[in-house]
Chains A and B, each alone.
Chain A
């Protein structure tokens, strides 16, 4: 039984499927996320696929500030992802609200709404930093509880 669990843990770290949500970003971070998928960085070599479907995703990548309009969408997406899952907040806005933090409609960072596992700072973060954040998240993802086996 332990070998099966160890095998599942290893497979998890090798196959994180990614869901990217733009939570009101300026698109700077989004362009960098998409750059990770291009042949230059090619995150598919880590088994990462951008699935765009919360029911298949393991890893939620959130960019941009959270405001009163999109907080429900963010919470809904996180809820639709089956456990175990990890959340990575990207960029200054995703971490704290960035330069928009004092705007009247902005709630703040992603962690005001859903629990965040990895924070990747930068405005925007470089693709290298995003890949580093995701790979750091993979270690947490492999150890997460929530499997029924």
Chain B
């Protein structure tokens, strides 16, 4: 019981702190790759605290509601992850939050917000089936969707699911909103869509969305860590290398269109998933 309470606290409190720190390191490394000095590592926390101190500018009530549902759902999904719950349940709770964020963007009349929300929906459509396929692969290896069962494995999942790990990395890139998949909104550039579907969120609601995003990043990196959960060094190496690759890809790729994303990620993702699943089946 006490262990459960501690895990809930870790999930609810430590996860966003970790997520913010990851975002800060990310910005610093990106600056280094662009031969800039870059902001301090704590910069994401300054941004969020500043946003909490701003005036409330609300377009409509739906937006406020959706921002709160989004952060609640993402927090719940991370807490469920730390409680070693069911992978499918975690995915559905996370998808619930993601959809409400899009509904909040659709509830405003701004064309930037509308187009950004459409693109975000297509992104969700792209990565959700792939994550389900990754979970199917995990089920075929471990015989369970429960994280506690997966952690009881003695051999790293990466050995039997190498291609599905790459598929999960596609989902991670989309979820982190990194290039080439940063067309619904982006951390750095405001280009053809100003700030995409986040255009109409402002002040503390933008801060809530940002914290929710940190939860999601921690959740997806947590899913990555399951692939080498047998040792702590393995977890650190796998997650660290994966995230460094994400930053590198972000800096060397251009922004693409949603048509390209849907075609490329589904072809490559589905092909790799099926090859991996068939190989598992025939082994």
Chain A interfacial positions (CB closer than 8 Å to B): 7-8, 10-12, 14-15, 17, 39, 42, 44-47, 50-53, 55-56, 58, 80, 82-84, 146-149
Given contacts A82-B57, A83-B55, contact A55 B43 (CB under 8 A): no
Q: How far is the CA of A42 from the CA of B45 in the complex (A)?
A: 20
Question: Which B residues are CB-close (under 8 A) to A8?
Answer: 49-50, 52-53
Which residues on the B side are within 8 Å of A84 (C-beta)? 53-55
A42-B52 in contact (CB<8A): no
**Closest B residue, CB atoms, query A83:** B55
In the bound complex, CA of A12 to CA of B45 (Å): 11
Give residues in B with beta carbon < 8 Å to A: 27, 31, 34-40, 43, 45-47, 49-50, 52-57, 190, 194-195, 199-203, 206
Residues of chain B within 8 A (CB-CB) of A146 are 55
Interface secondary structure of A, over-half rule: loop
User: For the complex, what is the distance from the CA of A83 to the CA of B38, rounded to whole Å?
Assistant: 27
A56 with B46: CB separation less than 8 A: no
A83 to B45, CA, bound (A): 20
What's the Cα separation between A8 and B51 when bound, in Å?
A: 9
Residues of chain A contacted by B57 (CB below 8 angstroms): 55, 80, 82
A39 CA to B34 CA in the complex, in Å?
7
Q: Are A82 and B203 also in contact (CB < 8 A) when A8-B49, A8-B50, A8-B53 are?
A: yes
Are A11 and B50 in contact, CB atoms less than 8 angstroms apart? yes
- B36 touching A45, Cβ below 8 Å: yes
B53 and A147 contact, CB distance less than 8 A: yes
| B36 / chain A contacts, CB cutoff of 8 Å | 39, 42, 44-45
Known: A12-B53, A47-B46, A55-B202. 14 other contacts (CB 8 A): A8-B52, A11-B45, A11-B49, A39-B36, A45-B36, A47-B40, A47-B43, A51-B195, A55-B57, A56-B202, A83-B54, A147-B55, A148-B56, A149-B53
On chain A, the residues within 8 Å of B37 by CB distance are 42, 45
With CB as the reference atom, state the residue of chain B lying closest to A38.
B36
The 5 closest A-B pairs by CB, nearest first: A8-B53, A11-B49, A52-B190, A55-B202, A82-B55
19 residue pairs of the A-B complex, CB under 8 angstroms, read A8-B53, A11-B49, A11-B50, A14-B40, A15-B43, A15-B47, A45-B38, A53-B190, A55-B57, A55-B199, A58-B54, A82-B56, A82-B202, A83-B54, A84-B53, A84-B55, A146-B55, A148-B53, A149-B53
